[in-house]
Amino acid sequence: MLTQQTVLLVGGTGRTGRRVLQQLLDRGVSVRAIVRSGGKLPPDAAGNSNLTVIEASLLSLRDEELQQHLRGCDAVISCLGHVLSLKGVFGPPRDLVTRATMRLCRGVEALQPPAPVKFILMSSVSVNHTGGLDTRRGSFERALLWMLCGVLPPAKDNQRAADFLLEKIGPRDAFVQWAMVRPDSLLEGEVSEYALHEGLVNSLFAPGSTNMANVAHFMCELVMSPKAWADWQGKLPVITNAEASGPLTVSRSEP
C-alpha cells in the first residue's frame, strides 16, 4: 500500500498552480503551499485538512525556515511565474524561477533525505534543451529566442532555471531528481487527453496548446506514478493537447 505523499508547492495561487493544488488534494496528497497571500487560494482547497498554508515571501525565507518546510516532503512542485504586468515582467525579482529552483534544490540537499526528492518544474517550450532531443530550430527562430532571452527577463529566467537543473544538479544527484514540464500556449479547460513528447514539436511561429488542467494532471502523475517518474525524470517533456501531431505517449483523463 502506498503511504500518503507530501508535496511542497510554490506558485499554488497561479493559474496552473491552483489546478495542481486542487488535483493533488483530490488525490489525497498532503500539500504544503508557500504563498504570498492565502486569500488567493481557491476556496475549495483552502479548507482542506490535507493543506498546510505557509504565508511568506518565498525568496525572503531564511535557509533554515525553507528546510523546515521541505523536511519530509516526497516532491516539490514549482508553478512560479512572473506576473504579467510591466512591474511583474521587468521589475525584481527578475530571477524568481531560477532563484527559487536553486534554493529549493539546495535546501533538499542540505537535508540529505533518505530517498531522492522529486523536483517538478513548470517550464516552457521557449526553453531549449541544449544537446538534448529537441528538434533543431531554424536559424531565424534561434535568433528570435536569443533576442527574447535578452529582452524579456522571464524568458531568460526560465532558461537559467533549466540550465541549473541540467548542469548543476544533473542526472545523478543523490538527493534531488527532477523533471521539467514544458507546456505550449496555456488554455483554460478541463482535463482531456494529452500527448507527451521527448522534444519540441511545434515552432514558436505555429504554437500548439496545452490545457492548464492537463499540465496539473501530468504533474500529479509524476508525483504518484512510479512509471511516469521512471519515464520522465531527468527529462524536459513537452506536453500538448492530444490533437497535436506525433504523440509519444497519450494519457487518459483520469484526474
Nearer to ligand NAP, 29 or 80 (CB): 80
* DSSP strand pairing (176-183 vs 238-241): parallel
Contact indicator for 176, 120 with CB cutoff of 8 Å: no
User: HSE on the CB side for 115, CA within 13 Å?
Assistant: 6
The answer to the question of residue 60 lying near ligand NAP (CB under 6 A) is: no
Nearer to ligand NAP, 58 or 165 (CB): 58
Q: What are the distances in angstroms from CA 103 to CA 87, 120, 154?
A: 23, 14, 18
The answer to the question of residue 36 lying near ligand NAP (CB under 6 A) is: yes
Binding residue (CB under 6 A) for ligand NAP from 107, 154, 208, 237: 154
Nearer to ligand NAP, 111 or 187 (CB): 187
Q: Which three cell numbers stand for residue 80?
A: 512560479
The answer to the question of residue 165 lying near ligand NAP (CB under 6 A) is: no
Q: What are the distances in angstroms from CA 211 to CA 19, 31, 78, 217, 227?
A: 10, 22, 17, 10, 23
The answer to the question of residue 14 lying near ligand NAP (CB under 6 A) is: yes
Nearer to ligand NAP, 6 or 123 (CB): 123
Binding residue (CB under 6 A) for ligand NAP from 83, 110, 133, 250: 83
Cα–Cα distance for residue pair 70/134, rounded to 1 Å: 32
Residues binding ligand NAP (CB under 6 A): 11, 13-17, 36-37, 40, 58, 79-81, 83, 93, 96-97, 122, 124, 154, 158, 183, 185-186
